[in-house]
Amino acid sequence: DAKTTQPPSMDCAEGRAANLPCNHSTISGNEYVYWYRQIHSQGPQYIIHGLKNNETNEMASLIITEDRKSSTLILPHATLRDTAVYYCTGAGVGRSQGNLIFGKGTKLSVKP
Amino acid sequence: DVKVTQSSRYLVKRTGEKVFLECVQDMDHENMFWYRQDPGLGLRLIYFSYDVKMKEKGDIPEGYSVSREKKERFSLILESASTNQTSMYLCASSPPGGGSIQYFGAGTRLSVL
């Protein structure tokens, strides 16, 4: 499983874009990059994943560098409810890859 | 929306007790998982199941067992609770082929005294 490195904390003003970086230089060629978040006292919540193309859904955008050694999660208009710990991880697909391994993540604080 | 429900948010048990943690999902998912989450150690997989009556060990199965008699329910059993099993326990489910897109319950914070 890919080891990831994320900054321990970040602040973002409400309404502004939050850009959360992740280094995953050991990710293997068939591993996807997944992002989850965990709001205080809740279980983790899936956000988005990608292999090598940029991805966007209703929650966020994911930008993966061409060499796949790093990625950035973008919350385009952060709200107070986006305050959470954000985790990136590498994982395969299919039956044998269900074991999510989270590092320490980035604690994002969205401030009014 | 997928709903994964864990039977208790907080639980206090005594050393040596047998403890049952229940998890139910309402989306007909084949895959279900039990993790524990501890500060500084992240998420660790205890057991998972890909089908009814099937179970596979995760990274830290010692001291735990599981039961999956029905597709929607996955139970974690602490045979004889010990203080080092004090932790946050998280249940998750995922559809077939979507093993890394998991839907989590709110968690059960278990304290073993």
Q: Among B98, B99, B104, whose Cβ lies nearest the Cβ of A44?
A: B104
% of residues, chain B, pLDDT over 70: 96
Q: Give the model confidence (pLDDT) of B19-71 as tens digits.
A: 999 999 999 999 999 999 998 888 889 999 989 999 999 989 999 999 999 99
Q: Residue B103: list chain A partners with CB under 8 A.
A: 46
The stretch B59-84 carries a mean pLDDT of 96
B27 touches chain A (CB under 8 A): no
Contact B42 A101 (CB under 8 A): yes
Q: CB distance from B92 to chain A under 8 Å? A: yes
Q: What is the pLDDT of residue B70?
A: 96
Dump pLDDT digits (tens) for A1-27. Answer: 458 899 999 999 999 999 999 998 888
pLDDT of residue A7: 96
Collect all residues of chain A within an 8 Å Cβ-Cβ radius of residue B74. Answer: none
Contacts of B24 in chain A (CB under 8 A): none
Residue B77 phi, psi dihedral angles, 5° rounding: -120, 125
User: Does position B100 have pLDDT exceeding 90, yes or no?
Assistant: no
pLDDT surpassing 60 at residue B12: yes
Q: In sequence order, which residues have a C-beta less than 8 Å from that of residue A74 and are 6 or more positions away? A: A17, A18, A19, A20, A60, A61, A62, A63
Give me chain B's average pLDDT, please.
93
What is the count of residue pairs from A and B with beta carbons less than 8 Å apart? 68
Cβ-proximal residues to B29 (8 Å cutoff; 6+ apart), any chain: B2, B71, B93, B94, B95, B96, B103
DSSP string, B8-34: -SEEEE-TT--EEEEEEESS--SEEEE
- The pLDDT value recorded for residue A30 is 81
pLDDT in tens, A44-101: 999 999 998 899 999 999 999 999 999 999 999 999 999 999 999 887 655 445 677 8
For residues B38 and B60, is the Cβ–Cβ distance under 8 A? no
Tokens read off for B9: 């948010």
**Candidate from B43, B97, B103 with C-beta closest to A46:** B103
Judge whether residue B88 has pLDDT over 70: yes
- pLDDT value, residue B42: 83
Best A36, A37, A46 member to test B by mutation, with max B CBs in 10 Å, is A46
What does the pLDDT average to over B81-92? 97
